Amino acid sequence: MSFYEDFYNEVSCSVRKDIFSNLLSEAVSKNVSIRKIQTKDTPEQWGVSDLVHRYCYGRHLFYCTKNNVPVPFWIGLDIRENNTFISLTFENKLFNTLFKNFNLVNFNSNYSSLQKNANQNSLIEIQLIQKNFKDICDNNDSQILSDFMNDIFSKL
């Protein structure tokens, strides 16, 4: 691969990450129950519980339940060797402490898919289904992200 191709791919990826960050900021601003810890997305290891992960790019936030209990979560791009997803991730131990009787299967819906073996991992990863991810990429629609988060949080 030439310098031009490497540079083009790097710049193209950065532009796409900026578009995602803007869409996520719009989606977060629509939900008054979400408290900001970060306002800018960063690359990091949070959410990486699979060997094929490359890295994640997103932000840490809090969701305040109806009882005003703050629940930390991470949301962002989950970039793997063979695909990219949008994931919302909770720390398993803390989640189970806060929601003792919650059945994780409830996270599967028209918007989301719970990753396998969620009870056995240190993290609970919930992915936006690929059809909706494609819609975000094609239409730059922050409402899809809002619906995804609202769908998950309405079950808590």
**pLDDT > 60? residue 7:** no
Q: Where are the domains of the chain?
A: 3-153
pLDDT at position 16, please? 77
Compare 11 and 88 and report the one with higher pLDDT: 88
User: Residues 149, 75: contact at Cβ < 8 Å?
Assistant: yes
Percent of the chain whose pLDDT exceeds 70 = 80
- Closest listed residue to residue 41, CA positions, set 14, 65, 5: 14
pLDDT exceeds 50 at position 8: no
Nearest to 86 by CA among 24, 13, 150: 24
Report, as an integer, the average pLDDT of 130-138: 87
Taking only the tens place, the pLDDT of each residue in 61-115 is: 999 988 888 999 999 888 776 778 888 989 889 998 998 888 888 788 888 888 7
Question: Distance (Å, rounded) from C-alpha 9 to C-alpha 13?
Answer: 6
pLDDT in tens, 100-129: 888 888 788 888 888 766 566 778 888 999
pTM more than 0.85: no
Q: What percent of the chain has pLDDT over 90?
A: 25
